[in-house]
C-alpha cells in the first residue's frame, strides 16, 4: 500500500480514464478494468478463471485473498463487451481468465504491465503500482455517495476497520458532511 501522510494514495477518475485509454490490448484492457471496477488485488486477478465469469447472467464470482470474503457480484455492463471480445480472441483452452505466452498471467507480469501502461499514461512515478486501482475504486465509490458498508462488501473486507481509511480521503463525502453541518448550525 502506498501511504502518504498515513493515507492511501489513489488515482483520480481522470487518471484512471487516462490509464485505460493507453491500453490497446484486449486482454490488458479487460484485466485492468476488472481490477479497477472490482477493487481486486493482483493475486485475485491472477487467480481468476474463465469459470468465474458468467457473461450471459452478467455475473462475476470473485475469489478473495487475505481472508477476504468471496462472492458473486453483478458484472459492470461496460465490461461485458470487452470481456466477450477478449475471450473470442483467445485461441487456447486454458481455464485461466488472463493468460500470457506460458499460461496464467502471474502477479509480477501483471505488475510489470501496469507499470508500463502507467508510464505511457504519464502517471507520476509514485502512481505506478497496480494496488492504486483498489484504493481508487474505494475512494470513487465513497465520492459517488455509496455507504461505507457497500464499499466494505465491494472490496471483500471482513472488518469495517479496513474500509474506514477510505472515508478519511473521500473529499466529496467530507465536503457534503461539512455543508450539511453548516446548514444546520444556528450560530
- Give the pLDDT confidence of 3-53 residue by residue, as tens digits: 445 788 999 999 999 999 999 999 999 999 999 999 999 999 999 999 999
| Total-model pTM | 0.86
What is the gyration radius of the CA atoms in the chain, in angstroms?
18
Q: How many CB atoms lie within 10 A of CB 125?
A: 9
**Catalytic center residues:** 41, 66, 131, 134, 157, 166
**Strands 103-104 and 3-4, bridge-based pairing:** unpaired
Confidence band for 2, pLDDT divided at 50, 70 and 90: very low
In this structure, what C-alpha cell is assigned to residue 137?
Answer: 475504486
Name the fold adopted by 7-184: hpI Integrase; Chain A (1.10.443)
Q: Are 169 and 139 in contact (CB under 8 A)?
A: yes
Domain coordinates in residue numbering, the chain: 7-184
Amino acid at each position: 500500500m502506498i501511504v502518504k501522510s498515513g493515507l492511501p494514495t489513489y488515482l483520480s477518475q481522470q487518471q484512471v480514464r487516462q490509464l485505460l485509454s493507453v491500453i490497446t490490448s484486449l486482454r490488458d484492457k479487460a484485466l485492468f478494468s476488472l481490477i479497477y471496477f472490482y477493487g481486486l488485488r493482483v493475486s485475485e486477478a491472477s487467480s481468476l478463471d474463465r469459470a468465474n465469469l458468467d457473461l450471459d447472467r452478467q455475473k462475476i464470482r470473485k475469489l478473495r485473498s487475505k481472508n477476504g470474503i468471496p462472492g458473486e457480484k453483478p458484472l459492470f455492463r461496460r465490461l461485458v463487451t470487452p470481456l466477450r471480445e477478449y475471450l473470442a480472441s483467445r485461441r487456447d483452452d486454458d481455464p485461466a481468465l488472463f493468460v500470457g505466452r506460458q499460461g496464467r498471467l502471474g502477479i509480477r507480469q501483471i505488475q510489470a504491465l501496469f507499470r508500463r501502461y502507467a508510464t505511457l499514461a504519464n502517471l507520476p512515478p509514485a502512481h505506478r503500482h497496480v494496488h492504486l486501482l483498489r484504493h481508487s475504486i474505494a475512494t470513487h465509490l465513497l465520492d459517488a455517495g455509496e455507504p461505507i458498508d457497500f464499499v466494505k462488501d465491494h472490496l471483500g473486507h471482513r472488518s469495517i476497520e479496513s474500509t474506514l481509511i477510505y472515508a478519511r480521503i473521500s473529499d466529496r463525502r467530507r465536503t457534503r458532511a461539512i455543508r450539511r453541518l453548516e446548514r444546520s448550525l444556528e450560530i
